[in-house]
């Protein structure tokens, strides 16, 4: 792979992790170049209200917060570019990154991966429409559960994450319907017991969502028993999807160590990957917390690790 240009620090991805890494890298005079990727701003651009990020006492919309982060990174002369990474070569001391299917190739002394993860959705037209409109469909109970305090909500999923989010919602909401496609849950026994012992959670086994009801906001959910065919309408104002996330890391397969799901493995307590000079931050490596504030924290770690790595290389 032949490069068109060489940079000191290349950041891939433009969520809270990527922009925080850029702020720290730029202030350390690493002259970072950041490629925004297919979804500039990351998952937060799909979030209407962010109330749990420090420094916003009145809350902020997800897209607005990402604009703030981008402006802050650019204030310190981060070179923010449109484009997405389609191929990498991490075989040598210089790291090569192909942009937009070969239209441009950058070599870099250090690379910070902040490509994030994407929530899996059911794929219903009504679900996606209401999600995009900020109308009560969410893939993060910890982020958005607060807005449904005292209301009735539904959550789809059967694994540990769904069980954990259902019990979290149960503390805030009057009633939580847990929609499970099969006749059993995949969650660990401990998590299943927690769900079953929570009074205001009702588990609906053998049920699938047919439609999320409502024009501008969630007004209910039409579900169907896949054994009897009987349809039921749940009177809910919030609809949560917890069927998993997929890390956006496919292009790094074969180069970086990953777990079985595709999350990049970092060395404990650092942002380092198995390749010297390549660092990871945010949801590309985090399948546990998945919060904007934790992503930002690991973006800071990645930039500091990159700065130390480059300083050692220069000695």
pLDDT in tens, 149-195: 999 999 999 998 899 999 999 999 999 999 999 999 999 999 999 99
Instruction: State the pLDDT at residue 4.
Output: 92
Pick the catalytic residue from 9, 109, 140, 283.
Answer: 140
The count of domains in the chain is 2
* Shared domain check, 256 and 175: no
> Where is the domain boundary, 194, 222, 241?
241
pLDDT score of 207 more than 80:
yes
Pick the catalytic residue from 109, 144, 283, 286.
Answer: 144
Tell me the C-alpha distance between 270 and 39, whole Å. 26
Rg (CA), the chain: 21
* Shared domain check, 157 and 197: yes
* Shared domain check, 221 and 251: no
Pick the catalytic residue from 9, 143, 286, 305.
Answer: 143
* Shared domain check, 101 and 170: no
Q: What is the pLDDT of residues 248-284, one digit of tens each?
A: 999 999 999 999 999 999 999 999 999 999 999 999 9
Q: Phi, psi at residue 6, to the nearest 5°?
A: -120, 135
Instruction: State the pLDDT at residue 124.
Output: 97
Check if 173 is active-site. no
* Shared domain check, 159 and 74: no
* Shared domain check, 296 and 184: no
Check if 143 is active-site. yes
Q: Is 310 left (phi over 0), alpha (psi -120 to 50) or beta?
A: alpha
| Residue 155 Cα to chain centre, angstroms | 18
282 neighbors 83 (Cβ within 8 angstroms): no
Q: At what angle do helices 62-75 and 16-27 cross, to 10 degrees?
A: 20
pLDDT score of 135 more than 90:
no
pTM of the predicted protein model: 0.82
Q: What is the pLDDT of residues 45-74, one digit of tens each?
A: 766 678 889 999 999 988 899 999 999 999
* Shared domain check, 190 and 127: yes
* Shared domain check, 235 and 201: yes
* Shared domain check, 71 and 108: yes
> Where is the domain boundary, 204, 223, 241?
241
Residues 29-32: contacts with CB under 8 Å, at least 24 apart:
30/110, 30/303, 30/306, 30/307, 30/310, 31/7, 31/77, 31/79, 32/7, 32/8, 32/78, 32/79, 32/112
Q: What is the pLDDT of residues 7-32, one digit of tens each?
A: 999 999 999 999 999 999 999 999 99
> Where is the domain boundary, 217, 241, 265?
241
DSSP string, 111-174: EEE---EEE-----HHHHHHHHTTSSEES-HHHHGGGGTTSEEEEE--SHHHHHHHHHHHHHSS
- Residue 155 belongs to domain spanning: 121-241
* Shared domain check, 83 and 140: no
* Shared domain check, 231 and 277: no
Cβ count within 10 A of residue 119: 18
* Shared domain check, 253 and 114: yes
Q: How confident is the model at residue 42 (pLDDT cuts 50, 70, 90)?
A: confident
Burial class of residue 11 in the structure, from the number of CB atoms within 10 Å of its CB (0-12 exposed, 13-18 middle, 19+ buried):
buried
CATH number at residue 97: 3.50.50.60
């Amino acid at each position: 792979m032949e490069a068109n240009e060489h940079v000191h620090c290349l950041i891939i991805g433009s969520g809270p992790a990527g922009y925080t890494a850029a702020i720290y890298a730029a202030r350390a005079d690493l002259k970072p170049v950041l490629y925004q990727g297919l979804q500039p701003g990351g998952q937060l651009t799909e979030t209407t209200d962010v109330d749990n990020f420090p420094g916003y006492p009145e809350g902020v919309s997800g897209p607005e917060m990402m604009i703030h982060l981008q402006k802050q990174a650019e204030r310190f002369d981060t070179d923010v570019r449109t484009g997405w990474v389609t191929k990498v070569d991490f075989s040598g001391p210089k790291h090569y990154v192909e942009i937009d299917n070969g239209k441009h190739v950058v070599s870099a002394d250090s690379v910070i991966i902040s490509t994030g993860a994407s929530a899996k959705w059911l794929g219903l037209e009504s679900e996606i429409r209401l999600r995009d409109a900020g109308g009560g469909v969410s893939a993060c109970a910890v982020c958005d559960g607060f807005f449904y305090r005292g209301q009735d909500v539904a959550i789809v999923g059967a694994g540990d994450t769904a069980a954990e989010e259902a019990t979290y919602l149960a503390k805030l909401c009057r009633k939580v319907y847990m929609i499970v496609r099969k006749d059993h849950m995949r969650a660990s026994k401990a998590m299943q017991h927690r769900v079953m012992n929570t009074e205001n959670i009702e588990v609906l086994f053998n049920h699938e969502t047919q439609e999320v009801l409502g024009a501008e906001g969630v007004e209910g959910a039409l579900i169907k028993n896949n054994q009897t065919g009987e349809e039921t309408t749940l009177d809910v104002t919030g609809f949560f999807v917890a069927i998993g996330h997929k890390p956006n890391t496919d292009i790094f397969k074969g180069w970086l160590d990953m777990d079985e799901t595709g999350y990049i493995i970092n060395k404990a307590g650092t942002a380092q990957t198995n390749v010297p000079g390549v660092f990871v931050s945010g949801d590309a490596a985090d399948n546990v917390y998945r919060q904007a504030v934790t992503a930002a924290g690991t973006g800071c770690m990645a930039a500091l690790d990159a700065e130390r790595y480059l300083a050692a290389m220069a000695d």
